[in-house]
Structure 1
Amino acid sequence: MPDREKLKQQADIVSKQLEEHPDLPLEKRQALEKLVADLNFQLQMEPGAQSPSIADDFNKAAIEFESSHPGLAGAFRNIVTTLGSMGI
């Protein structure tokens, strides 16, 4: 599966998991929704034009949610891995 499709699927998984965690504080939920929206926006850009900071942002989110929401953290780490394989 091409990396772009894989990232789209992973972004969809994160969105679904956010729906399954209504206990997330509103501020954190909005930040994560923005992060997913940023990823979806970057997927529309030409290869090589994506910002490498998106991987850092997902990595920080993975660390932050590792203990409280390990499923989300795992999804974030999958995104970081896929971004890395794309050179982002």
Structure 2
Amino acid sequence: MPAQELQKQLDTLREQLEQNPPLSEVEREDLRVLMEQIESEIKLENATQDASIADGVNQAVDRFELEHPAIAGTLRNIVQSLVSMGI
């Protein structure tokens, strides 16, 4: 169940990025890499879990919180899903 919620949040984040918010290429690339890491974690769900992914998402929340609150909110939901998965 937590993996399904996490996938739903990733889909929401993708939809937000498709709306072309004013992000720099570096910010877009950082989010893309982060989403790929989370996708990998979903695939491994019960295998070795990397706690640094949650740290990376938390850093992204801090980075986007002021200028892109919707993206930051989605990232917070992703953190909650990762915590629910024990990551």
How many angstroms does 1:48 deviate by?
4.5
Q: Is 1:44 equivalent to 2:64 in the alignment? A: no
- 1:3 and 1:86 in contact (8 A); partners too: yes
- Is this contact kept in 2: 1:14–1:75, CA < 8 A? yes
| TM-score of the pair, normalised by structure 1 | 0.92
Counterpart CA distance in 2 for 1:61 and 1:68 is: 12
Match of 1:79 in 2: 78
TM-score (norm 2): 0.93
Q: Is the 8 A contact 1:15 1:33 kept in 2?
A: no
Q: Kindly indicate whether structure 1 or structure 2 has the higher relative contact order, using CA contacts under 8 Å at least 6 residues apart.
A: 2
How far did 1:20 drift? 1.3
Distance in 2, matches of 1:8 and 1:46, equals: 12
Aligned length, in residue pairs:
87
Q: How far apart in 2 are the matches of 1:68 and 1:7?
A: 23
Q: Match of 1:44, SS?
A: helix
Which of structure 1's runs of 4+ aligned residues deviate more than 6 A? none
Specify every segment of 5 or more residues in structure 2 that has no aligned partner in the other structure, as ranges.
none
The answer to whether structure 1 residue 66 and structure 2 residue 62 are counterparts is no
- Residue of structure 1 in register with 2:8 after alignment: 9
- Conserved 8 A contact 1:39-1:54: yes
RMSD in angstroms over aligned alpha carbons? 1.1
